[in-house]
């Protein structure tokens, strides 16, 4: 029962995906968007190359995807959706992103290549 309560709290507060959409041109100049799209390549868990394109496309080793700013958390958060899985990403600084998988709360670090 405790696990279900944590999951419900997590889903309700961190990953409200209803407003998520691919990055729009008007959002491309935001600080968080320029930080992630301005880097040539990021590395998922230090092993897998990721590229956030300025038009909202996302290249991963598993599947092409999309990304954009998380509307309710524009300041330092983006989302990534690839292989039909949603992730909420906190852009900690210009070289490190903390990702949380919405499905189960699994956390990984994404860093500059």
Instruction: Give the CATH number of domain 2-112; options: 2.60.40, 3.30.310, 2.40.128, 3.40.1130.
Output: 2.40.128
Task: Give residue 45's Cα distance to chain centre.
Answer: 14
How far apart CA 84 and CA 90 sit, in angstroms, is 20
Confidence tier at 14 by pLDDT (50, 70, 90): low
How does pLDDT run across 31-41, given as a tens digit for each residue? 899 999 988 88
Residue 8 has pLDDT above 70, yes or no: no
- List pLDDT tens digits, range 59-74: 999 999 999 988 776 6
With b meaning 16 or more CB within 10 Å and e meaning fewer, what string describes 60-70? beeeebbbbbb
Give the phi and the psi of residue 20 in degrees, each rounded to 5.
Answer: -75, 135
Instruction: State the pTM of this model.
Output: 0.82
User: Do residues 25 and 40 touch, judged by C-beta distance below 8 A?
Assistant: no
Where do the structural domains in the chain lie, given as residue ranges? 2-112
First-to-final CA distance of the chain: 40
């Amino acid at each position: 029962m405790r696990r279900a309560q944590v999951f419900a709290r997590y889903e309700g507060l961190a990953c409200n995906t209803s407003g998520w959409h691919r990055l729009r041109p008007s959002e491309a100049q935001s600080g968080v968007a320029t930080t992630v799209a301005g880097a040539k390549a990021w590395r998922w868990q230090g092993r897998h190359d990721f590229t956030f394109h300025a038009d909202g496309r996302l290249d991963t080793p598993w599947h092409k995807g999309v990304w954009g700013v998380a509307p309710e958390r524009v300041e330092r958060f983006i989302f990534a959706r690839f292989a039909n899985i949603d992730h909420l990403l906190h852009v900690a600084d210009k070289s490190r992103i903390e990702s949380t998988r919405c499905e189960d709360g699994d956390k990984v670090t994404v860093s500059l290549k």
